[in-house]
Every structure is written in C-alpha cells, then in structure tokens.
Amino acid sequence: MGKIFSRWGAPKNETMDVIAGLLLVMFVAVMSLTIVGTALPVMLSSLHGSETQYAWVVTSMLLSSTAATPIAGRLGDLYDKKKLLIFFIAIFALGSLLAGASVTADMLILMRIVQGAGLGALMAMVQTVMAVITSPRERGKYNGYFGAVVTVANVSGPIVGGFVVDLLGWRWCLWISVPFAIAAMVVLAKKLRVPSSVIENPKIDYLGSTMGTAGVSLLLIYMSMGGDGIMAWTSMPMMVMAILGVIAVIAFVFVELRADQPIVPVRLLANQTVTLAVLASIGLGLVLNAPMVYFGQYFQIGRQMSPTASGMCMLPMMIASFVFSTFTGRMVSSVGRWKRFVVSGFVMMVAGLAILSFTGKSTPLVVLWVGMFLLGAGQGSSMQNLVLAVQNTVPLRDMGASTAMVTFFRNLGGAMGVQFASLIFNMSLAVQLRRNFAEAGVKMPPKVAQGHSASAAASSPQIAHLVADSFADAMGTIFIAGTVSTLICLILVAFMKSSSLRDTIDAPVSEQVAEVFREDGMESRSQKEE
C-alpha cells in the first residue's frame, strides 16, 4: 500500500493517518444515525413529540443522506475530492450542532436533514477516496476496516446513546460527534492527497437530482403519513402526493437516460454484477437501520429497561459486525474473490431475522442475542463486499458515481426500511393494544388511541403494563417482513457472477476501450473476434 500512496506523493508514514482520519469521521457520522435509538423516548418526551415522529427523527436523516449520496459521488468524479470531503464534514458538524440545540421535535427533524446531507455525502466521498488510492485487491482489507467501522457505529450507536443519555442528557447524543469531526478535518487537511478529476468539461445533472430527490421524498412521506398516521391513504392530499412521487421517479429515469453526465449512470446497470449488487443493497438497507431504531423501543418500553441497559442488550450485534467485517475484509484480500462472503452474509442475515421474528414480551434474551449476532455477522460480511464487487467492474472515471450508486440504493433501502417498519409496527401495535385492553376489560385512554401510548402509560401501572406488553408483542412483525425481503436478496446474490479482484486501481485499457464501444452502441474488434 505504501507504493500506491507514494504514487500520489504521500509518504508511507502518512498512510494510516489518512485511513484513521477517514474512519474516524465515518464512525461518528454513521453513529449519529442510530445513537438516537435509545434516546428517542427521552428525546421526544422532552420535546413533546408524538410516536409518528419516532420514525421521522431517523428517516429524515436517511432521506437527506439518500438524496445527497449520488450528487456527492458525481461531484467527486468531477472536482477536488479533498476539498469536497472537508466541506461535507463541515456540513455534518454544523447539522449535529444545531440538532442538539433543538427546542421542538419539528426543529430536531429539520436539523437531522442537514446532518443527513453531510452523512450521505461523506459515505460516498470516503469510499471514493479509498477507491482511487488503492486497488480492489488491496482494498478488500481496508474495506473490511471501513465496514467494521460502519456496522459497529450503526450498532454501537444505541449503546453509546444509552450511556450518554443517562450521564449527560439527550442533547449530547447529537453534540458528541462535533469534536471528532473537527479532528478528522484537521488530519485530512494535512495528510490527504488524491488524484485529480479524470473527466473533462464536467457537468452536474441538476434536473435529475431534483426529480430523484422529489420522487423519493414524496413516496416516503406518503408511507409515513398514511394509514394510522396523519391522513387516510385514499385522502386527496395523500393520493396527490403518491401520484406526484411516481411521476417524479419516472421523470428521473428518463432524465438519467438522456443526460450526458447523469447523477446515476443507468448504463452501468447493463452489467449484471452492478444490477444485482444494487438490488441486494436495497434489501440490505431495509434491515440495516430499522432494528436499531425499534430495539430501543422494545427494550425500554416493552421490557421496561433503562437506556443504558437497552443499549447493552445490543452488544452481540456490534461484536458480530466488527469481527465478521474485519475478518471477511482480510479474507477477501487474501483469496482475491468476494462472492462467497456476500452469499454467506445474506444466509446469516436470513437466519438471524427468522429468529428475531419470534420477538415478544416473554422471549428469552438469549434467543434475541443469537438472532442479533447472526444479523450483525451477516451485515458485516456482505455490506462492503457489495461495494467492492461493483468497484471491481468499473473504470476509475466511474468510481465515484458507481460507488455512490450502491450507497444511494442502500440508503434508500434504509429509509424505506424504517418507514416500512414504522407502518408495520404501528398497524401491529394498534391490533395488540385493542386486543390487550379488551382482554383486560380496561377502556383504552384517548392518548393511546391517538398514538401517544408511551406518554399515556405514565397515568397508571395497569395501563403501563398493557402498553408495554403490546409494544413487545408487536415487534416481531417487523422481523417477519425483514426475513422475507432478505431471503429474496439471498436468491439475487446467489446469481451474481463471481470474479477475481484486480490488482490495479484503474481497469485495464482493453476493458476501458470495450466500455467506450459499448457506450457508442458498437462492439470492439476483439469482441467480434471472440
């Protein structure tokens, strides 16, 4: 790796400084997404928020990160990657600072949007920077570190959040990342050196970005507000929102097909590996964030645990994510192949989610821990290797866009997963509440019926008990849906073509020439001869 860095003028002793800076900012950025999991009950109680806003504190950040990811990836192919990276870190730090200063739930959600924009841009840019300074073969182990950091940050967020809430208050769950982000900016400003853009006459696809963001946003808002949310599914405002969302998505596809330099290069989807990796990333995203959000509610409301104890119950997932991400990263670099690790990862996720589908008020903790361990192990084994599989198939000039594409669809799946989980959970919770209150012969308080069951539980021990049991028994339905979606993704990744990881940063010249011919609708002479 020292040779690679020296190619760009970076001495070997600066290599790990750069890697450490990149991983540090990714850790605090990703952790900011889930650190609120155990803090949500306290946070929204302090800000007088509703249960509908539970999901939106997380989803708002996921939504903005999803929208920012492809834009940042494309910018990374066009302009100075170092300056962009530092700028995106600053955006994330500012969002974190303002989110912690929120005085209402609506303000908190708005500032989480700013946080998310920084997070999405960082996820794309950090992986792009790593891709342009290392070959896919070497990148396997470094991606292992990256994946370990991302998955551990994702899982440890609720654990850290539990301690922070108990010791410092919920606002520090949002402020804690600021000093680490500043430290990363200093390190990267001094040490990071990356190659310049390889694209002449750069253009930004603003229309495509607008259409894509609008379409995804409208559809996610529709899912959040419909049904037992704010308005009925078939109400006029909701139907208009859904129709406009679908139109925007269709327009986005047409714009990307015609754009000279699209935000999401649709031509890359002609590659089977890229297409299946994108679909699998959506499925991975569906079960990546939702468990962290709802386990916090399950342990605190359903099992009456403290925020700290709730976070500690998620340790098996964190340990598994760290161990398997690091191990598989090293193994990928050693054997030079990635498919077996992706497939085994999805197998473990299916098994873990199937076990977690039995979650209820009387489920033994050891059963939940086994399910969490398998889920974390599967995420650690597969997440970064899906990115690596795509990076291994594209030339350097498409590295930012292709990396951002996989990250974009994973984040999209994450946003959809939280909203789907919210929809499924709220529907199941409503059924459980009606059943439990009816069986107990207790009239359901108006606050419970209106979606404020957590705050209504404080009115009496009996109501608290009924609410807790309902919360716990409703949780399993989330994991049933996750099991089905992940099983479908397992079938998809099983059909991915295995390939050896190349030892060069850029694709061989022959492959790039073939790509140019394919873009022009022609075949190269060598292809015809074959």
> What tens digit of pLDDT does each residue of 397-424 get?
677 677 777 877 887 787 778 778 878 8
Between CA 355 and CA 368 the distance in angstroms is 7
342, two tokens: 């992706």
Sorting pLDDT into bands at 50, 70 and 90, what band is 524? very low
DSSP 303: S
133, two tokens: 């300074």
AA identity, residue 442:
V
At 8 the pLDDT is 38
At 292 the pLDDT is 74
Which residue would you say has higher pLDDT here, 104 or 293? 104
Cα distances from 105 to residues 4, 43, 66, 166, 311, in angstroms, run 48, 9, 22, 20, 23
CB neighbourhood size of 498 (10 A): 12
Residue spans per domain, the chain: 2-190+261-499, 205-260
Quick check: helix, strand or coil at residue 505?
Answer: coil
At 200 the pLDDT is 60
Share of the chain above pLDDT 90, in %: 10
* Span 331-341, pLDDT tens digits: 887 777 888 88
Residue 392 pLDDT > 50, yes or no? yes
* CB < 8 Å & 24+ apart, contacts of 13-20: 14/191, 17/187, 17/191, 18/187, 18/188, 18/191, 18/192, 19/142, 19/145, 20/187
At 201 the pLDDT is 63
- 252 close to 215: Cβ distance less than 8 angstroms: yes
Q: 2-190+261-499 sits in which CATH class?
A: mainly alpha
At 344 the pLDDT is 92
33, two tokens: 């997404």
Share of the chain above pLDDT 70, in %: 78
| Closest C-alpha to 298, from 168, 437, 479 | 479
- 418 close to 293: Cβ distance less than 8 angstroms: yes
| Closest C-alpha to 105, from 157, 56, 162 | 56
Q: Which of 71-75, 139-143, 476-480 has the lowest mean pLDDT?
A: 139-143
AA identity, residue 15:
T
Residues 443-448: what's their mean pLDDT?
A: 64
At 4 the pLDDT is 39
276, two tokens: 């299946």
Query: pTM for the whole thing?
Result: 0.73
Quick check: helix, strand or coil at residue 500?
Answer: strand
Strand partners, 500: 337
Residues 478-505: what's their mean pLDDT?
A: 83
Main-chain phi, psi angles of 103, to 5 degrees? -115, -10
* Span 231-264, pLDDT tens digits: 666 778 888 888 998 999 899 888 888 877 777 7
Q: Which of 383-392, 454-463, 507-516 has the lowest mean pLDDT?
A: 507-516
Most confident option among 36-50, 139-153, 302-316, 452-466: 302-316
Residues 488-509: what's their mean pLDDT?
A: 74
Element of type H or E holding 205: none
| Closest C-alpha to 67, from 206, 259, 243 | 206
* Start-to-end Cα distance in the chain: 36
Quick check: helix, strand or coil at residue 498?
Answer: coil
- 253 close to 265: Cβ distance less than 8 angstroms: no
* Span 120-152, pLDDT tens digits: 888 878 877 777 766 666 666 677 777 778 777
Which residue would you say has higher pLDDT here, 8 or 312? 312
* Span 295-318, pLDDT tens digits: 877 887 778 887 778 778 888 888
At 371 the pLDDT is 94
* Span 349-382, pLDDT tens digits: 999 999 999 988 888 999 999 999 999 999 888 8
Residue 97 pLDDT > 80, yes or no? yes
| Closest C-alpha to 259, from 197, 200, 207, 201 | 207
Calculate the average pLDDT of the chain: 77
